[in-house]
A and B are shown apart, each in its own frame.
Chain A
Amino acid sequence: MFAAFDNFPSLLIWLPLVAGVLSFFIKKEGAPRNISLLSSILSLAIVIASLLFSGQQHAGLNQVSYIWLPDLGSSFGFILDGLTKILCLLTAIVFPLVLLITNKDEYKNSNAFYGLLMLTQCGLMGVFMATDALVFYFFWELALIPVYFLSSIWGGDKRIKATFKFFIYTFIGSLFLLIGILYLYLQTPHQSFNLAAFYNLRLSAPEQHWLFFLFFIAFAIKMPIFPFHTWQPEAYEQAPRPVTMIMSSIMVKMGVFGLIRWLLPLFPLAVKDYNTGIILLITVGMIYVSLIAIYQDSIKRLIAYSSIAHIGLMAAGIFSLKEIALQGVILQMFNHGINIVALWIAADFLERQTGVTEISQLGGVAQKAPKLTVFLVIAAMANIALPLTNAFVGEFTIFNGLYQFNPWLAALAGVSIILSAVYTLNMIKNIFYGEVVPATTEVKDIGRTHILVFSIITLLVFVIGIYPSPIFKIIQESTALVLNKYGSL
């Protein structure tokens, strides 16, 4: 398994792993942070390289498999295909941004902090690229455990309880996943964990039905979608800032990704039976959490609930089983990951400047911090999917597919978009406009690092919003494959 590094997937796994382990042992002030930043920028370079060297002639560069446990039929298999590239790109972009923006933060035992952060990145990359179910499960846990420690050690006042809830929830979910994987493994003809072997299984309808739920619950908890979402707002609120950003931007995508890569191709019969019901559940849940979001006074909770609604839309798009929606979902996974980071950065900036997180106690920030206002308004517009922004392209394509599936459900999901406009604009109005209130008199505008980070995000928002076709081209590599079992049904 320690073989060559002549391919992108192994580099993407080993780089953060080595950087993380290295960080643990370096006591020098600031060094772990620089190592992490360097490694995450290198990861970005690797992902970009893999985007350049795609296609059949470079297949060897984007795919790798080492024998790991021969008697179990498991091997360290990774692949970078269309879906994976988008998610790895997201991971590779978000990590440097987050590290840049929190560059000035001081953490006790910063070596452990950055070490764990890098291990999280390694876990995420592994989850996205794994082509072996056991490896997938390993990395799924590897992404969870460091986050648990990060939140519990460096989080807010109620961190232990909130994080423990998060941990127990997801851990139970992953145990369900494990049962499902074990069962599938035993069904394969030569006892292997290989994804392709799983895809080739011919499962009977009753088997698919209960396996579907094992997988679905695991992924639903992770995303999270209503009614498995109760861990999320507290966990986001209590986690330290970089961790919140990574959780909400990338980790939730693990669940969405799981649906696309594992659930849909594996259990077509069950998906066909349940998809209408699940979309209904999701859309009702979306409206429900949007209504909750309207009544939130805390910015962080508002963003958390809004995120649940957005993720819900992605899940609904997946279950519509339309290729166009699926492409929209993959694009939207990327967009949402970028946009929500901007929202968190702005929310945290305000919290640090004013010391309050309640929307009702803020006001008139636009007069004090015009630059921040511009950037946040753009991010907010992207959050409600206005035309020209990236989320418009993504959500529009999702709605397109959802509408083809069932107009009524699409309309119902549309309500939550309207609601999202209500709470987002309301937040903008209350925070940025109106009179300057006591809490905001001292607010200063954002500094250079923030401008840099916000500019990168804004650039991505508009580039993808205006010219999305290159990224769609990458996505299309893998979407047809996901749905090819549904053609004959």
Chain B
Amino acid sequence: MNTIIFSALWGVLMMYVGFIVKKQKSATAFAVLGLIVLLIVSWLEYAGVSIFTIDMQGMLRYNRLSLVFNLVMIFSTLVYFLLSGSDIEKFGKSSSDYYALLFFILTGISIISGFQSLLMLFIGIEIISIPLYILAGSEKSNLKSNEAALKYFLMGAFSTGIMLMGIAFLYGDAGTFYVEGINLGLGKITPMLAVGMVLLMAAMSFKVSAAPFHFWTPDVYDGTPTVFTSFMATIVKAAGFFAFFRLFENAFGNLHSDWEILIAVIATLTLLIGNITAVFQQSIKRMLSYSSIAQAGFMLMGVFALNTFAKHGLILYFAAYSFATLGIFAVLAKFKDHSIEAFNGFAKRYPLVGFSMLICILSLAGIPLTGGFFAKYYMLLAVIKYGKMFWLVIVGILCAAISVYYYFKLVQAIYFKEAAQREDVVFTRSFELMMLANAILIIILGIHPDWLMSLLYM
């Protein structure tokens, strides 16, 4: 509960801070402070100290996994604020409003991480989505941003509708919103239950941009201002996955062998479409949107397998993927030109940032010694361990090979190509150091992933 209440409170505070402080910098500082407070209170919650005791009627319940998930998300957001804070400041008159929205999203995320009732799932997802619609359209003068916001809103509303319909069907079948109640009642599949489950699966696939519900992703990610794409593609996506995982573990765990094939097919499609389409992209931003779809395919393997390895792997995946993507987007946000050529000769001009970006890219490509390797590795291991549908592993590995191709096109531009006409970008010293710290974090995850996972058992 600590996390939910503090993040909501701080969001409200942020809105007032806009009136009080005049300098944008201090708004960022206040937001970072808020995250640190949030990190502390959720650590307290993790350590068993609850500041608030509210009777939730069992609609929210946090286990180790969800508390660790909260910590990872808040920490990733901290990384995001530190890396991209200066770019958020450039948006609009008052950046504190955006920070407020981001804090509200965190509230939604912390609701999602503990939901025991489908109502809470619904509320959590809506709390995440509505601020995002605003963020997507925050660049008011840009037509693409407006388009992205509208598209995201329409598609989001549509998928929420599907989700509600699914929940209604499930309620009709089980007579309860509690996931445990649904899971207990699952002896055999009734038509009503099957329809509800498939509708929920479609809605969740939409939220995590899994194929064939991914069509909104490239346009929305591309149109949204890069600073906010960064947040959408990482933390929000991870939250969607966590909800997906939790829903299918807690509500439909007993029917695992019935729906596994559906998830396997969705994962395969997502992997193939994401990776193959990414190969043809000329703009890094679009390439990263497709890459985020491709990465979603890997995370779906965790939902498919639902075992311990999947849990470990997903936590690691969220962290490794978020850090890497946040790093690349943070650099990208400083560029107007998002084509790959714009990065030609990048490392010669900015060796430190270039190196940090390299580590991020290697991590996304899943090269050993970076966190991305173990993330993918755990996913594959989870599927193998589950013992069925070995072909999913083969598809995963093939796609990992494809992904190396497009990720390394970026590496080639950064390191090997001669610089063409350059856009002048200035990186502050603190930004460079933050990027480096981020890269080191990724490497640490790549050497000792067990340090993160041991949190699950402390």
Contact = CB atoms under 8 A, between A and B. Distances in A.
Interface residues of B, number: 26
A167 B408 contact: yes
A182 B380 contact: yes
A168 B412 CA distance: 13
B367 A153 contact: no
B381 A182 contact: yes
A159 B417 CA distance: 11
B367 A141 contact: yes
A164 B415 contact: no
Given A71-B453, A179-B394, A179-B397, A160 B367 contact: no
A72 B415 CA distance: 35
Which of A137, A164, A167 gathers most chain B CB within 10 Å?
A: A164
Contacts of A153: 415-416
Interface in A152-178: 152-153, 159-160, 164, 167-168, 171-172, 175-176, 178
A305 interface: no
A69 B449 CA distance: 8
Given A71-B453, A168-B404, A175-B397, A142 B415 contact: no
Given A69-B450, A71-B453, A183-B384, A159 B368 contact: no
B369 interface: yes
Interface in B400-458: 400-401, 404-405, 408, 412, 415-417, 448-450, 453
A481 interface: no
B174 interface: no
A41 B408 CA distance: 34
B384 A137 contact: no
A178 to B, nearest CB: 7
Interface string A170-205: 011001101100110010000000000000000000
B15 interface: no
B385 interface: yes
Contacts of A70: 450
A71 B401 CA distance: 27
B276 interface: no
A171 B404 contact: yes
A182 B450 contact: no
A138 interface: yes
Given A71-B453, A175-B397, 7 more contacts: A141-B367, A149-B415, A152-B416, A160-B417, A164-B408, A171-B404, A175-B401
7 contacts: A69-B448, A71-B312, A71-B453, A142-B368, A164-B412, A168-B404, A182-B381
Interface of B: 312, 362, 367-369, 377, 380-381, 384-385, 393-394, 397, 400-401, 404-405, 408, 412, 415-417, 448-450, 453
Interface of A: 69-72, 137-138, 141-142, 145, 149, 152-153, 159-160, 164, 167-168, 171-172, 175-176, 178-179, 182-183, 186
Would you list the 4 A-B pairs with minimal beta carbon distance, nearest first?
A141-B368, A152-B416, A138-B368, A175-B397
